Amino acid sequence: MAQVSVTIDGRKYRLSCNEGEEARLEQLAGMVDEKIAELRSAFGEIGDQRLVVMAALTFADQLVEARESAAAEQDRLRAADARAQSAAATLDGLGARIEELAGRLGGSAEG
């Protein structure tokens, strides 16, 4: 396991992560640090624990919104796929009818 030292809200934390994930963990810690600073700026000194909880709730809210958006997009894609399949089936049917009519017309022209 790799070790990473990060600073969040002025406090240093030594964290473990998988090899190669150090930069990602540092990036995430930076995001948490920025969110806490943003909340402190907006609400003042309301207590470290409250700021951390508010930051966590903010990230959780963003995650839920992203999941809901992804699910809605998947629903739209499934609906579009169903419409495309229906259109393809209709075109296949029309193509078969055209071939049938062309065969009839070709047969009657020869007779």
Give 29: exposed, middle or buried? Use CB within 10 Å, 0-12, 13-18, 19+: middle
The pLDDT > 90 percentage for the chain reads 91
| pLDDT beyond 60 at 22 | yes
Domains: count for the chain = 1
pLDDT (0 to 100) of residue 107: 74
> Average pLDDT, stretch 43-60?
94
The single residue listed with the structure tokens 């579009």 is 80
Residue 5 gets the label, from left (phi > 0), alpha (psi -120 to 50) or beta, of beta
pLDDT (0 to 100) of residue 30: 97
| pLDDT beyond 60 at 105 | yes
pLDDT tens digits for range 57-67: 999 999 999 99
Give 45: exposed, middle or buried? Use CB within 10 Å, 0-12, 13-18, 19+: exposed
Mean pLDDT of the chain: 94
pLDDT tens digits for range 52-98: 999 999 999 999 999 999 999 999 999 999 999 999 999 999 999 99
Question: What's the domain range around 28?
Answer: 2-110
